[in-house]
Amino acid sequence: MPKDKIKILVTDDSIVTSKFLVNMLAMDPDVEIIGTASNGKEALAFVRKMKPDVITMDINMPIMDGFEATANIMREIPIPIVIVSSAYSPAETAKKFRALEVGAVGILPLPFGTGHPDFEKSMKHFVSTIKLMSEVKLIRRWAHTPNTIKPAVDKEYLVQINPEKALESKVSIIAIGASAGGPISVKEILDNISADLAVPIIIVQHIDPEFTQGYADWLNLSSHIPVMIAKDGEKMEAGKAYMSPGDYHIGVKSLNTIMITKDLYESSLRPSVSFLFRSLLNVYHNKAIGILLSGMGADGAKELKLLKDEGSITIAQDASSSLIHGMPGEAIKIGGASYVLSPSQIVNFIQKHVPTLSK
């Protein structure tokens, strides 16, 4: 029996961009373009009649922009929506990330044009990501406010694999790895942990380099602790979160000292969660908390287990709160998670087990 094609709606007010996306996506034999829309109002009307598997959505459009369209579609008929960026501006970037808050599953840059040397690479990444996002199941999501924290209840810690050894050691650093679906989970954690946290945080988020600064700016809008783009050799401070510049690995070279490097890609990724977790293993041993959040693939899963085996605390996001349970699921599968928690439970765990400056 032949496999059903992935039905895509392309939404963009630029005729040139829309045609470019349609032609590029239609080259894939698994894809069927079932419609185009030039603004959010047209997209919403189309979705009400025809249910695509996935929607590409521009942000800056007349009549109804992509943010409003995403919010309306997710309220009425939850369908995976990928925000596609054709231009950079700080204001538009902020709106793109706000679209994640109302239900968009990801943000992608517009691939390079056909004459660009990286066209093939950017096209393959774009098409494969759109196809993967079409499989995301969105019913049950977005009916709640991400910042709502459930009461801390010990029985919510669904898996506890010999955590006593880990909790005997003093936590000196928190490291978070995330990919698709991760931005919202990272935001929920940073929005709700104490501002006077007594340890630094390092974050690896798989995101296009074009959006790295915008992502940090978006997190800073509501985070209780400052989020910054790190520099090589920078000394980390308690109660601050650090991310790598776009297309760089981030790790630690010694206690409280950041390492930023252009080392080779790991599994086609830079930054890589595996790189970060390995560096923690070499420097912090059993004094770290490693957290693996929503994302496709297996980046960081093996290294999370190495941290656990060393005596550090390791946490994998649970399936029910993950947009894509690939990375944390792989870690759980190989026994790499001391705890399996939702983002709200991760906040409760940190509040309970990580010291604050006021204590």
* pLDDT tens track for 310-356: 999 999 999 999 989 999 999 999 999 999 999 999 999 999 999 88
Q: Which residues are catalytic?
A: 179, 206, 299
pLDDT, mean over the chain:
89
pLDDT of residue 358: 73
Selected residue with higher pLDDT from 298 and 210: 298
- Indicate the pTM of the whole model: 0.88
Domains along the sequence of the chain with CATH = 6-133 (3.40.50.2300), 155-353 (3.40.50.180)
Q: How far is CA 81 from CA 71, 129, 131, 138, 339, in A?
A: 10, 12, 11, 10, 31
pLDDT of residue 170: 85
Listed range (8-22, 124-138, 179-193) with the worst mean pLDDT: 124-138
Query: pLDDT at residue 230 above 80?
Result: yes
Selected residue with higher pLDDT from 318 and 85: 318
Selected residue with higher pLDDT from 167 and 60: 60
Edge-to-edge strands, sheet with 288-292: 227-229, 241-243, 201-205, 173-178, 288-292, 313-317, 339-341
Q: How far is CA 335 from CA 241, 304, 310, 323, in A?
A: 27, 9, 13, 21
